[in-house]
């Protein structure tokens, strides 16, 4: 499941490097040069490269299969080898016992133990079979934005590093409140310390109930927004973090508002978004403005068999619907920021407190 079909989870990256005039030819050359190859580097835990999105075995990208109008769509394949920690420990204990018996001693030096453990790990790595992962990539050239199907910190870093190596362009994880860093250093640090993503999501819950879920945004008809089934609230950081998980509509109202009164903010919530009679549902992760398991509105047509042209049309439709939801959430955040940085914010906070204590 991913960009082509089903629910889609993704993070966003912004591309800051301007596109060169010969970008189309350069992109085609670069992605082919860094395509996935059936080669696993010795003593390495992973091997990665680009493959086709429509066809995961496509590494040649014939007829510019990566190009879809203004978009570049492809996949990052990462093959990883792992050594189960429990098995590694058993193998190490067996080898250590054998070495002690051979030497007729009771203890190995620390350096010897570490060398023995690493030798066993390397042997296990050589015998291990790599496990592949396919991660969808959708690059909007006009917006300078990439939608990448992962939230895992390690995978996000792998993607960022490999993208830079391939295309020699700077990219960074996109979170909209970084624009606030244009303020003075002290103001920006104070703003970020308040966890703006969580503050936004907490405010959004209030707005979702203020007018029966109807919110007016500039330039479009009112949208519908509802918090459904599950939310996670949290206070504190690291070892001192305290979380509350609320599931079910009744729990959202009672447990959730009680957690708000205790000073917690919403870290994650399942949202239902209605725009122009179409409905999206997704889990929104506030800390990095990430989307998980987004269900898109039903496509205009469905068929079991279709031509490549029809498949491209459906994919473009899904990207359009994906971006519609993203743009609306960005507009909601801009709405929030306009209030948050205005003289009207204390009055908004007062209304939120009244709502919270109902």
Q: With pLDDT > 70 as the criterion, what percentage of the chain qualifies?
A: 91
Domains identified in the chain, total number: 3
Same domain, 301 and 259: yes
What digits encode the pLDDT tens for the residues 15-57? 999 999 999 999 999 999 999 987 777 777 888 999 999 888 8
Question: Is residue 183 included in any domain, yes or no?
Answer: no
Across 37-46, 130-139, 205-214, which has the greatest mean pLDDT? 130-139
Q: Rg (Cα) of the chain, in Å, rounded?
A: 25
Q: What is the mean pLDDT of the chain?
A: 87
Q: How many CA atoms lie within 13 A of 143 on its CB side?
A: 18
Quickly count: other Cβ atoms within 10 Å of residue 54's Cβ. 16
- The owner of tokens 């109008």 is 69
Which residues of the chain form beta strands (DSSP E)?
Answer: 8-15, 46-51, 67-68, 71-80, 131-140, 145-148, 171-173, 214-215, 223-235, 242-247, 265-275, 278-285, 290-295
Same domain, 151 and 227: no
Residue 357: the pLDDT is 86
Same domain, 159 and 56: yes
Quickly count: other Cβ atoms within 10 Å of residue 46's Cβ. 16
Contact 122, 95 (CB under 8 A): no
β-sheet bridge partners, residue 76: 50, 135
Same domain, 68 and 134: yes
In this predicted structure, the answer to whether residue 181 has a pLDDT above a threshold of 60 is no
* Domain, as residue range, for 115: 85-127
Same domain, 313 and 205: yes
Nearest residue to 52 (alpha-carbon basis) of 28, 82, 30, 73: 73
Same domain, 214 and 318: yes
Residue 211: the pLDDT is 85
In this predicted structure, the answer to whether residue 180 has a pLDDT above a threshold of 70 is no
Question: Is residue 123 included in any domain, yes or no?
Answer: yes
In this predicted structure, the answer to whether residue 227 has a pLDDT above a threshold of 70 is yes
Kindly give the interhelix angle for 308-340 and 345-356, rounded to the nearest 10 degrees: 100
Question: Is residue 3 included in any domain, yes or no?
Answer: no
Residue 309 confidence class, pLDDT cut points 50, 70, 90:
confident
β-sheet bridge partners, residue 282: 271
Query: Can you tell me whether residue 4 is helix, strand or coil?
Result: coil
In this predicted structure, the answer to whether residue 275 has a pLDDT above a threshold of 70 is yes
Q: How many CA atoms lie within 13 A of 269 on its CB side?
A: 27
């Amino acid at each position: 499941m991913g960009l082509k079909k089903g629910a889609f989870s993704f993070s966003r990256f912004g591309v800051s490097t301007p596109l060169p005039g010969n970008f189309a030819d350069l992109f085609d050359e670069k992605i082919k040069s860094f395509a996935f190859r059936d080669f696993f580097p010795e003593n390495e835990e992973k091997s990665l490269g680009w493959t086709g999105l429509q066809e995961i075995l496509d590494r040649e990208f014939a007829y510019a299969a990566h190009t879809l109008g203004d978009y570049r769509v492809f996949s990052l394949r990462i093959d990883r080898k792992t050594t189960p920690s429990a098995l590694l420990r058993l193998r190490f204990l067996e080898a250590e016992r054998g070495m002690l018996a051979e030497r007729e001693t009771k203890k190995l030096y620390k350096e010897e133990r570490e060398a023995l453990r690493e030798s066993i790990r390397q042997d296990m790595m050589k015998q291990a079979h790599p496990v592949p992962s396919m991660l969808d990539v959708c690059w909007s050239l006009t917006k300078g934005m990439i939608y990448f199907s992962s939230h895992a910190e390690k995978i996000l870093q792998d993607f960022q590093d490999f993208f830079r190596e391939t295309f020699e362009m700077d990219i960074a994880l996109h979170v909209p409140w970084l624009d606030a860093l244009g303020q003075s250093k002290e103001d920006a640090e104070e703003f970020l310390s308040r966890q703006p993503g969580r503050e936004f999501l907490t405010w959004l819950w209030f707005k979702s109930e203020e007018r029966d879920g109807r919110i007016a945004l500039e330039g479009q008809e009112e949208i519908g927004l509802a918090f459904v089934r599950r939310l996670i609230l949290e206070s504190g950081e690291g070892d001192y973090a305290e979380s509350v998980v609320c599931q079910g509509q009744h729990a959202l109202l009672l447990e959730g508002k009680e957690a708000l009164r205790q000073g917690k903010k919403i870290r994650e919530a399942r949202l239902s978004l209605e725009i122009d009679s179409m409905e999206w549902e997704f889990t929104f992760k506030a800390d990095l403005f990430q989307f998980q398991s987004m269900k898109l509105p039903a496509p205009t047509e469905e068929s079991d068999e279709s031509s490549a042209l029809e498949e491209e049309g459906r994919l473009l439709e899904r990207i359009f619907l994906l971006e519609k939801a993203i743009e609306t959430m960005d507009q909601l955040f801009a709405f929030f920021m306009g209030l948050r940085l205005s003289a009207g914010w204390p009055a908004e906070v007062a209304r939120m407190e009244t709502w919270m204590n109902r």
